[in-house]
Amino acid sequence: MLDVQPTALPGVMLLTPRRFGDARGFFSETWNRQRMADHGITIDFVQDNHSLSAEVGTVRGLHFQAPPHAQDKLVRCGRGRLFDVAVDIRVGSPTYGNWVGVELSAENGKQLLIPAGFLHGFVTRTPDTEIVYKCSDYYAPETEGAVRYDDPMVGIDWGVDASTAVLSDKDAQAQGFKTFNSPFTWEGAA
Ligand SMILES: Cc1cn([C@H]2C[C@H](O)[C@@H](COP(=O)(O)OP(=O)(O)O[C@H]3O[C@H](C)C(=O)[C@H](O)[C@H]3O)O2)c(=O)[nH]c1=O
- Does 133 participate in catalysis according to the annotation? yes
Q: Residue 44 — pLDDT band, cuts 50, 70, 90?
A: very high
Q: What is the mean pLDDT of the chain?
A: 96
Instruction: Please name the residues in contact with 97: beta carbons below 8 A apart, sequence gap of 6 or more.
Output: 87, 88, 89, 153, 154, 177
Taking only the tens place, the pLDDT of each residue in 149-161 is 999 999 999 988 8
Atom of ligand 1 nearest to the CA of 170: 13
pLDDT of res. 189: 61
CA-nearest of 137, 135, 133, 145 to 170 is 145
37 inside domain? yes
> What pTM was computed for the model?
0.97
> What pLDDT digit, counting tens, does each position of 101-110 carry?
999 999 999 9
Is the residue at 190 inside a domain? no
Instruction: Provide, rounded to the nearest whole percent, the portion of the chain with pLDDT above 70.
Output: 99
Q: Which of 190, 187, 184, 188 is nearest to 90 (CA)?
A: 184
Is 19 part of a structural domain of the chain?
yes
Is 73 within 8 Å of 134 (Cβ atoms)?
A: yes
Cα 119 to Cα 143: distance, rounded to the nearest angstrom: 13
Residue 48: inside a domain: yes
Q: Name residue 123's beta-bridge partners.
A: 59, 83
Residues in contact with ligand 1 (CB, 6 Å cut-off):
49, 51, 60-61, 63, 120-122, 139, 168, 170
- When pLDDT is cut at 50, 70 and 90, the band that residue 82 belongs to is very high
Pairing mode of beta strands 90-91, 184-185: parallel
Q: Show the domain range for 92.
A: 2-185
Residue range 161-176, pLDDT digits in tens: 878 899 999 999 999 9
What's the number of domains the chain is made of? 1
Active site residue 63: yes
Residue 120: CATH number of its domain: 2.60.120.10
Whether residue 28 is contained in a domain is answered as yes
Q: From ligand 1's centre to the CA of 155, what distance in Å?
A: 23
